[in-house]
Amino acid sequence: MEIEKRVFLLGVLTQKEGESIRDLILALSNTGMFTPKEGKRLRKELETEGYLSEGKLTVKGMVEAKKAQEEFKL
């Protein structure tokens, strides 16, 4: 899986209460991870691939997000 997708899933996993997917896309684009347009494309790809549903992680998405969390731990 591409690093951008793993970071996106990790971002969804660690979202704060009341934070939307749009907020997450903007936050990640501010870090230079991708542009807002690319973030929207990634979201659609992750939904099509079964990792996200209605802005929430699916079970498949949760598994990948947890893997990313372990991978990025220092």
Domain span at residue 35 reads: 3-72
- Report the pLDDT value the prediction gives residue 1, as an integer from 0 to 100: 73
* Tokens representing residue 36 in the block: 């807002």
Q: Which residues pair with 53 in a beta bridge?
A: 56
- Give the integer Cα–Cα distance in Å for 9 and 59: 12
- Give the integer Cα–Cα distance in Å for 32 and 40: 15
Q: What is the pLDDT of residues 15-55, one digit of tens each?
A: 998 999 999 999 999 999 899 999 999 999 999 999 999 98
In the predicted structure, residue 74 carries a pLDDT above the cut 70:
no
- Report the pLDDT value the prediction gives residue 72, as an integer from 0 to 100: 87
State the average pLDDT over residues 59-65.
96
- Give the integer Cα–Cα distance in Å for 4 and 55: 17
Tally the domains of the chain: 1
